[in-house]
Amino acid sequence: MTLTDDCGLFGPDSVSWRVQADPAAGIGGVDAAAAHVRGLHSFVRGTDPVTGQSYSARNPELITWVHVTEVHGFLTAVQRGGLGLSAEEIDAYYREQV
């Protein structure tokens, strides 16, 4: 196997490949925009006024929430853009992204 043979975690037969390859997925704000947002996260921190607990946007649990919303956003964008995934393919995409 060469580096050019490496298809990453999901190959071209996966639903993830189809969703992320669709031009409408770009609406979700990937590439340079994601790096910019990550940089801004280092400044997002404070204290929850209800619980008194401190928080940071770099907290792994909050980052997981962001990933979940991105997955949903990509899927919504490509479906509205006309990709036309079946209910089974949508379920497969969510399973792959877990």
Output the pLDDT for position 61. 86
Output the pLDDT for position 1. 47
Asked if residue 60 has pLDDT above 90, the reply is: no
Asked if residue 6 has pLDDT above 90, the reply is: no
Output the pLDDT for position 2. 55
Going from N- to C-terminal start, the domains of the chain cover 58-98
Alpha-carbon distance of 61 to 59, in angstroms, equals: 6
Listed as own residue / partner, the contacts of 66-70 with beta carbons closer than 8 Å and 24 or more positions apart are 67/97, 70/28
Give the tens place of pLDDT for each residue, 22-58.
887 776 556 767 778 778 878 889 999 999 999 998 8
pTM above 0.75, yes or no: no
